[in-house]
Amino acid sequence: MSQADRKPASLDPDATLDPKDWGELRAQGHRMLDDMFDNLASVAERPLWQAPTPDQRARYRAELPRGPGRLEDVHAQFMADVAPYGSGNRHPGFMGWVQGGGTGVGMLAEMLAGGLDANLGGRDHMPIEVERQVALWMAELFGFGPEASGLFLTGTSLANLCAVLVARDRALGADVRHTGVRDVRVVAYASKGVHSCIVRAMDMTGLGWDRLRLVETDADHAISLPALEAAIAADRAQGLKPFLIVGTAGSVDVGAIDDLSGLADIAEREGAAFHVDGALGALGVLAPAIAPRLAGIERADSLALDFHKLAQAPYDAGFLLVRDAAAHKRTFTYSEAAYLRHAERGLAGGEWWPCDFGPDLSRGFRALKVWFALKTYGLDALGDVIGRVCKLAADLARRVEASEELELLAPVGLNIVCFGYRGADNAAIAADLQEAGRVAPSTTTLNGRTAIRAAIVNHRTGPADIEALVEGVLASGRAQASRG
């Protein structure tokens, strides 16, 4: 039926999208919730990953659905064709990339947030206070003080981009928002192991890749402070000015933690902003064995972190904390639009509008799932998860070093183990394991060699999964060796 054939839209004033019979929707809703609980409770019993068949993919190329369908049918299609073919990050054998495993509490909070349908761009309502509370907790946890600003973003990629913008405007003056970037005689520094999103932030902020120095790392893959000082001296000699030093608290490749105190000293001396990419490791402050190695994080001007990694929040939940809230606001606020005017009273009141602190106007209630998790599990339990995955990584490293056939390819500082089967094609081993669906490591390149990379993040991962990984790598490596 084409649009032209359609009868005129119903002008029935009762024709909303709400159901005629809430009881029916409620009963179906309970079935959907139960299905998802069953699905979550049995996640370890199913394959971690399986590729969808061409047939299944084809079923998702349907005509525009002009007319209605039955909710139970759509849900059945989801359960049959979508749920079993996810990327596997909830599974205890998932070690492929730095991804959390989600929680039941997170799932329920997402449902509540969806039901409330709050828009957290701004205005005067309680959901904003929930986000504000999480920001105050983070400011306290990281020693930023109550004056700091914080907000949720999709992930650390965006939080890092926002932090580079704040640092840019601090260095070039707020006028850069009018004129655009003209004076690019400013330079940023980060280690060679820095996440690619910092590199991308340089072009997205108009500064350009040429203004980022990727500094050599030392044996533990952390930034070399002497190499950083030398790079700064060389740039100064050229008349360039350091404006930003980025420290990494848990590098994505190997989990290396930069010397944050050392970086804070250098940033202070050079008058540069100090930003910490703590996507992976910042919440290590909750684990007594890791916290001392993060000393200096409390001196950062800004900090990016991800609740969807070690804190296990369902996707997505990135977060940015900025010490100087006024500078943060100067970078993003735009008061010219009448529809965004803040009022003295009424619904358009409220002191803290997140849209003044980031690129988004309409924003969902990401804060709710994190607020629920922090209040129900408690910070200590999250710290225990972090301590446990780091211990599993250390155990795996020992297991690798005790084997004649395996070799450790990077030191293990946090929760990531890079290793290989001697003389084998490690990429093929990783692919074999992923396809077998019991454990899923990924790969990375270290010193020109392909390593099997096990990033142990998921709170469900235990010793049996580590054993399955070791056994799987040995079996696949031996099979390769015997094929010659």
State the nearest-atom distance from the C-beta of 156 to ligand PLP, in Å: 3
Contacts of 325 (CB under 8 A, 6+ apart): 147, 148, 149, 357
Measured from the CB atom, is 200 or 460 closer to ligand PLP? 200
Does position 252 interact with ligand PLP (CB under 6 A)? The reply is yes
Q: Out of 109, 188, 197, 321, name the contact with ligand PLP by CB under 6 A.
A: 197
Dihedral through CA 235, CA 237, CA 240, CA 245, nearest 10? 40
Stretch that binds ligand PLP, among 14-22, 247-255, 329-337, 391-399 (CB under 6 A): 247-255
Which residues inside 48-87 make contact with ligand PLP, applying CB under 6 A? none
Give per-residue burial for 444-454: e unless 16+ CB within 10 Å, then b.
Answer: bebeeebbbbb
The answer to the question of residue 277 lying near ligand PLP (CB under 6 A) is yes
Residues near 259 by beta carbon (within 8 Å), at least 6 away in sequence: 222, 223, 225, 247, 296
In angstroms, how far apart are the furthest CA atoms of the chain? Answer: 77
**Which CB, 123 or 221, lies closer to ligand PLP?**
221
Q: Are 451 and 395 in contact (CB under 8 A)?
A: no
CB of 259 to ligand PLP, least distance (A): 16
429 counts as binding ligand PLP under rule CB under 6 A:
no
Applying CB under 6 A, which of residues 89, 103, 157, 224 lies at the interface with ligand PLP? 157
* Sole binder of ligand PLP in the list 155, 296, 354, 441 (CB under 6 A): 155
Q: Does 455 bind ligand PLP (CB under 6 A)?
A: no
Site for ligand PLP in 83-112 (CB under 6 A): 98
**Residue 360 CB, nearest distance to ligand PLP (Å)?**
14
Q: What is the dihedral of CA 439, 396, 309, 426, to 10 degrees?
A: -50
Candidate ranges 49-57, 182-190, 221-229, 275-283; the one touching ligand PLP (CB under 6 A): 275-283
Q: Which stretch binds ligand PLP (CB under 6 A): 63-71, 215-223, 244-252, 475-483?
A: 244-252
Q: Where are the alpha helices (DSSP H) in 142-241?
A: 156-172, 176-179, 196-204, 225-237
Count of residues that interact with ligand PLP, criterion CB under 6 A: 15
- Distances 410 to 78, 295, 335, 418, 420 between C-alpha atoms, Å: 41, 23, 50, 6, 10
Is 322 a binder of ligand PLP (CB under 6 A)? no
Cα gap 332→363, rounded to integer Å: 15
Measured on CA atoms in the order 355, 359, 361, 365, is the torsion positive or negative? negative
Cβ(90)–Cβ(40) below 8 Å: yes
Q: Which residues bind ligand PLP (CB under 6 A)?
A: 98, 155-157, 195, 197, 248, 250-252, 277, 279-280, 306, 318
